C-alpha cells in the first residue's frame, strides 16, 4: 500500500508528463478542427458585394480599385482573373494551373499573376491576406468574386461564363 502511495504521488516528473500529454492532445484536437474548417472553406468563390451606398459615383472604393486593377493588368471589356502569389506558396502553382484550364475552356478570359510581396500596396487595398488569392474582375473593372486558396475549376468556369456573356451584349 505504501508502495502504491509512492507510485501515484504526483512528483515533478509525472506533472511534466501529464502536462505534456494534455498539451499534445489539446493541440492535435484544435489543429484537426482548424484543418477541417479550412479544408471546407479553402478555394471557395465568394461574391463581393459593392460597399453599401458606395458602389456608384466618383471616388467610390470600386473606382479606386478599378484604377489599381488596371495598373496590375486587368483588361476592361474582358474578364480578368487576378492571382496573388508569393515565392513561399506551394498551392500557388496548383491555383495557376486551375486558372490556365479556365482560360483554355472559356475564351476571352485574361490571366494576371501578381507577386504579392512586390505589390503590398495593392495587397492592402484589395484586402488580400494570403496566397493564393484569386480575384475575378468583370469587364467593367469591378471585383465581383474572390477566392482564397486553390479555386475549383468547374465552379470558376460556371462563375466566369455569365460575366463574359454580359460583355458581348
Partner 1 sequence: MLLDPRGPRFAAAVTTVVLAAALITGSLALVLTQAVVFAVTAASPRLGPYALAYRALVAPRLDPPAEREPAAPVRFAQLVGLAFMLLAAVGHLAGLPALALTATAAALAAAFLNAAFDFCLGCEAYLALRRLTGRPVPARVPTGPA
Which listed residue (14, 23, 44, 166) binds partner 1 by CB under 8 A?
Answer: 23
For residue 83, what is its C-alpha cell? 492571382
Q: Does 124 bind partner 1 (CB under 8 A)?
A: yes
Question: Quick check: helix, strand or coil at residue 162?
Answer: helix
155 alpha carbon, distance to own chain's centre: 15
**Helix, strand, coil percent values for the chain (each to nearest 5):** 55, 15, 30
Q: Is the dihedral of CA 148, 145, 104, 152 positive or negative?
A: positive
Which of 89, 161 has the CB closer to partner 1? 89
Question: Quick check: helix, strand or coil at residue 153?
Answer: helix
Distance CA 38, CA 108 (A): 32
What minimum distance in Å lies between the beta carbon of 116 and partner 1?
A: 5
What is 21-45 written as a DSSP string? HHHHHHHHHHHHHHHHHHHHHTT--
Q: Does 121 bind partner 1 (CB under 8 A)?
A: yes
Q: Does 131 bind partner 1 (CB under 8 A)?
A: yes
Site string (70-99) toward partner 1, x via CB under 8 A: --------------x-xxxxx--x------
Which listed residue (128, 143, 160, 163) binds partner 1 by CB under 8 A?
Answer: 128
What minimum distance in Å lies between the beta carbon of 152 and partner 1?
A: 16
Q: Does 16 bind partner 1 (CB under 8 A)?
A: yes
Q: Does 130 bind partner 1 (CB under 8 A)?
A: yes
Q: Count Cβ atoms below 10 Å from residue 16 Cβ, excluding itself.
A: 10
Query: Interface residues with partner 1 (CB under 8 A)?
Result: 16-17, 19-21, 23-24, 27-28, 30-32, 34-35, 38-39, 84, 86-90, 93, 116-117, 120-121, 123-124, 128-131
Amino acid at each position: 500500500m505504501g508502495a502504491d502511495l509512492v507510485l501515484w504521488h504526483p512528483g515533478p516528473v509525472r506533472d511534466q508528463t501529464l502536462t505534456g500529454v494534455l498539451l499534445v492532445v489539446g493541440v492535435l484536437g484544435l489543429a484537426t478542427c482548424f484543418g477541417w474548417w479550412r479544408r471546407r472553406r479553402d478555394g471557395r468563390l465568394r461574391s463581393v458585394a459593392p460597399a453599401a451606398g458606395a458602389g456608384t459615383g466618383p471616388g467610390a472604393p470600386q473606382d479606386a480599385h478599378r484604377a489599381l486593377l488596371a495598373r496590375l493588368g486587368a483588361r476592361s471589356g474582358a474578364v480578368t482573373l487576378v492571382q496573388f502569389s508569393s515565392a513561399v506558396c506551394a498551392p500557388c502553382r496548383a491555383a495557376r494551373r486551375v486558372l490556365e484550364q479556365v482560360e483554355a475552356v472559356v475564351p476571352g478570359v485574361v490571366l494576371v499573376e501578381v507577386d504579392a510581396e512586390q505589390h503590398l500596396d495593392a495587397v492592402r487595398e484589395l484586402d488580400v491576406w494570403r496566397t493564393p488569392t484569386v480575384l475575378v474582375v468583370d469587364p467593367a473593372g469591378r471585383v465581383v468574386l474572390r477566392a482564397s486558396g486553390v479555386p475549383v475549376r468547374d465552379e470558376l468556369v460556371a462563375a466566369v461564363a455569365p460575366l463574359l456573356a454580359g460583355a458581348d451584349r
